[in-house]
Structure 1
């Protein structure tokens, strides 16, 4: 044995080991840090990645960053209300995605520059003495048993170290070593065509949105980004290579499609990408969990790869914190896969469909698409359907930490678009849909599949985030009053009033927030509540509208802002007991509650 082999092995221990310092790993580390969990973040590179990748961040991700205490800082690098418009080869707009609502407290579509936001996430970890980042350290192998995970890592000098953790999260990308070591399948498809991405400074166009130019000769994207950056993406045609396209004369030929003088473009970088659509067969193997690209990768066309990873971090962080702190049993982590995997599949499907519509496989299909979409765009309900981004499948958890009502549900209804398609019969619309079917089902039919759904219950869906008034007269976003906690929110009444001592003690042990909401004008004349109940004013009237659509007046909101259950004031204790079961948590005994 040589001297190098005889060097002592340093052992580091933590609650959670996160492998990969990308946005998902950094977000998860920040959120766990706020929860008081000890974390080691392992990154094989010597620094976090500094080149642009994702360019779209949605309202759900901004809400996740808000929960991590960083949303305000990233606003300097975000362009809100970033519309996406689709154009025919002749330059005619046939669809425009322009959501203008802010149900979750932030604008729904936003442009951003990922390295700048990643840097904020990285710097945010300095707030937590129990969170450490190990750069330039590569995972070699790992093992797990009933007590935890042991990981062997190595730095660039060859020095080895052992890390031990209660749990490990694989945020190590689409080629995840951890996923492959676990023999977890990663099924899906790779598109045969590639795209060359060109980022430039000193935006040569200056228009503020995203243009999806569906030219069958060579589809391309033009996207305005913050700080005068613009991204162009051009399809790589058969027989072309990255090396050839990157030559100045060929790149100038590409850019001549979009700028007046390609010789005056200030290039940042050029890179060729292949679009993949893949989903891991499982997201948890005992004490190891997969998140972000390690669990799912998808084409870029709806900007959901980054945002799906952020949903993973938001869903997993609070559950992992409860488990490692002994507030819930390990089986709670099973709900992560139950809740996230099906929605990740839906986002992959949406991204594939959007790509197929943007760049169909033949000129004939492109002409049919243009004719159909221009016709549909003339129908106000259809135009509104696309503009408001109603086609985006929002997360709704059917299993996991949710208590779905078994009582009478609202009857199903058909959306205007579904009704239109059902009434079309043997019309030009229906014949055009048939022509678009190059496979078993049409591209457009796939996009609107499932529209005839029942009126959605709020259970398993994200709760709204309006602005509210505090007793001190401030106007703030609702989440800023909740923090990384459960919230029991009631309209007009004390949500804790009907709770017995055991259930009240249970929620207090978790740090839950009890919130009573009322019209702002009533706050000065409100009746007394139990100690610890916060009374707030419904500054925008949205919470009243939300409760007005329900048949229950108390909502149980999870730390990731999803609705876990609804209850009437007299049901809060029984519902709490059911939720404790879903959380794999124990309620205190009567003696403990009174102690």
Structure 2
């Protein structure tokens, strides 16, 4: 009989790591199946936003994960070096982190891996490829084969594991997506760029301490800082250039010399790789008890730096819903809201990234000249803000900005402890009120919130350092707000009477599986 787990996570990149850590933190028995024998150890992503940093805070020691990170503003210039648009970085966004962060991916992955191995409920099985699956009414059985770093070992070890649900986080070439027969919609964006990662052999020059996208019709290229000590350079492949040619050492050094006047005395090359930039979204993200996440569900060009961020959003959206279903606090149907909430959000970001990608990959000189003129005249707006959630687990019938993100400040508790809000209140729902809500809610609603793992924070009993949460309540014109575990605003209460109705609406949104509360 295969070992039974609550969740099997297939793939151990940022999306899978985050899912496994969040679910392990919630006490679930998790098995991770990853074909590679160890963590990748090299950066693929280089940018995260403050929302993603807040999720990493829940999944790891955030200070350890981001110990070599920095602000990352973006500048887009044309072939003449003229600035087309500048995207600044805010030192502290509403989530308590810079809104654009340059970071070293192996640090983040190592910190999450370290945290989840300490839970005692997560079984990490590296060096095992999933070769088949069978579903029934109670769970999924995964068939595994040993992986020798090149291919599945036909004569090697084999095993199987069984879980109630499976999270497929196995990348853009997802084997699970193929086993499930799920197709992808292709949005027609396909470009190839060579990636040259380096380490500085001298202090990082000021002109490389941010991201620059060179929209040169002769050859699009870019550079971005990876924290303070590393740098990434990328160059578009031109017609006739091959993957083998563009990853040769002499080609990398030629590109660094010709475009940035850098040589072996300035940097050490750590990786050369050709990436295919594409935009594809799976036609369905759920097949029975299996859920596609991250690149297995959607891929996008990197021009917004949102590929990995989107995958991590998938993990935090799905993790708390699986937690409630596995704990009997919500029906299986709650899991259908995962795709309903995430697909529109990621589709909008994908289209925005495609638009920027077309700007960066304009090769026609006349079209590029018209593009430059429009930018320099201020006629091209910045990409719009990310859309709020508009469907799913949200309070209906309110003018409050439900579906947007709630802030994180620093607080000091009555016992003297101080720190980031999430670190002190825990990972889960949070009901933040201006005053003690005990009387307004009553014992039954308070018991309901306790069963849901909801922290109840009355701001008149804590020191709201910096006033971020009080200011947020004032902007909402509310006495309370209820945040989901993925930091999304479920709803607000206009007054003490509405506070009870807010909690009742949460119960209803979770499909009534938690018993009704007497009013």
- The interval holding the TM-score normalised by the smaller chain is over 0.9
SS in 2 for 1:572: helix
2:502 corresponding residue in structure 1: 575
* Contiguous gaps of at least 5 residues in structure 2: 147-152
> Aligned ranges for residues 62-141 of structure 1 at < 5 Å?
62-79=53-70, 81-100=71-90, 101-141=92-132
Q: Deviations over 1:563-588 (max 9, x none)?
A: 11112211223332221121134344
Partners of 1:247 and 1:92 in 2: how far apart?
Answer: 31
Deviation at 1:299, TM superposition (A): 0.7
2:158 corresponding residue in structure 1: 160
> Aligned ranges for residues 464-503 of structure 1 at < 5 Å?
464-491=407-434, 493-503=435-445
Partners of 2:442 and 2:218 in 1: how far apart?
Answer: 69
SS in 1 for 2:372: helix
2:324 corresponding residue in structure 1: 322
Alignment partner of 1:507 is 2:457: no
Deviation at 1:226, TM superposition (A): 2.3
Deviation at 1:42, TM superposition (A): 0.2
Alignment partner of 1:218 is 2:219: yes
Partners of 1:246 and 1:588 in 2: how far apart?
Answer: 61
Partners of 1:242 and 1:45 in 2: how far apart?
Answer: 23
Alignment partner of 1:399 is 2:391: yes
Q: Deviations over 1:113-146 (max 9, x none)?
A: 2122112222222211111011111111111111
> Aligned ranges for residues 345-494 of structure 1 at < 5 Å?
345-376=347-378, 386=382, 391-406=383-398, 409=399, 457-491=400-434, 493-494=435-436
Aligned length: 506
Deviation at 1:154, TM superposition (A): 1.5
1:130–1:219: structure 2 CA closer, same or farther, 3 Å change rule? same
Q: Deviations over 1:273-327 (max 9, x none)?
A: 1111011122212211111111101111111111000101111111111111212
Asked if 2 retains the 8 angstrom alpha-carbon contact of 1:203 and 1:229, the reply is no
Partners of 1:395 and 1:501 in 2: how far apart?
Answer: 37
Deviation at 1:342, TM superposition (A): 0.7
Asked if 1 retains the 8 angstrom alpha-carbon contact of 2:409 and 2:421, the reply is yes
1:189 corresponding residue in structure 2: 187
Alignment partner of 1:61 is 2:52: yes
1:504–1:475: structure 2 CA closer, same or farther, 3 Å change rule? closer
SS in 2 for 1:584: coil
SS in 2 for 1:481: helix
SS in 1 for 2:310: helix
Partners of 2:193 and 2:185 in 1: how far apart?
Answer: 22
Deviation at 1:106, TM superposition (A): 0.7
Deviation at 1:502, TM superposition (A): 2.6
Deviation at 1:248, TM superposition (A): 4.5
Deviates more, 1:325-334 or 1:541-550: 541-550
2:235 corresponding residue in structure 1: 234
Deviates more, 1:537-546 or 1:162-171: 537-546
SS in 1 for 2:130: strand
TM-score, normalised with respect to structure 2: 0.92
Deviation at 1:272, TM superposition (A): 0.8
* Contiguous gaps of at least 5 residues in structure 1: 1-9, 410-456, 519-534
Asked if 2 retains the 8 angstrom alpha-carbon contact of 1:113 and 1:225, the reply is yes
Deviates more, 1:477-486 or 1:213-222: 477-486
Partners of 1:504 and 1:554 in 2: how far apart?
Answer: 14
1:281–1:496: structure 2 CA closer, same or farther, 3 Å change rule? farther
Alignment partner of 1:198 is 2:196: yes
2:481 corresponding residue in structure 1: 555
SS in 1 for 2:304: coil
Asked if 1 retains the 8 angstrom alpha-carbon contact of 2:74 and 2:87, the reply is yes
SS in 2 for 1:560: coil
1:259 corresponding residue in structure 2: 260
Larger-Rg structure: 1
Asked if 2 retains the 8 angstrom alpha-carbon contact of 1:190 and 1:274, the reply is no
Q: Deviations over 1:374-405 (max 9, x none)?
A: 1218xxxx8xx74xxxx354351211110133
Partners of 2:373 and 2:432 in 1: how far apart?
Answer: 49
Deviation at 1:589, TM superposition (A): 6.2
Partners of 1:154 and 1:108 in 2: how far apart?
Answer: 41
1:269–1:552: structure 2 CA closer, same or farther, 3 Å change rule? same
Partners of 2:410 and 2:121 in 1: how far apart?
Answer: 33
1:539 corresponding residue in structure 2: 465
Deviates more, 1:556-565 or 1:241-250: 241-250
Q: Deviations over 1:5-26 (max 9, x none)?
A: xxxxx62210000111111111
Alignment partner of 1:174 is 2:172: yes
Deviation at 1:153, TM superposition (A): 1.0
1:51–1:190: structure 2 CA closer, same or farther, 3 Å change rule? farther
1:290–1:473: structure 2 CA closer, same or farther, 3 Å change rule? same
Alignment partner of 1:310 is 2:308: no
Asked if 2 retains the 8 angstrom alpha-carbon contact of 1:36 and 1:130, the reply is yes
Asked if 2 retains the 8 angstrom alpha-carbon contact of 1:395 and 1:462, the reply is no
Alignment partner of 1:12 is 2:3: yes
TM-score, normalised with respect to structure 1: 0.81
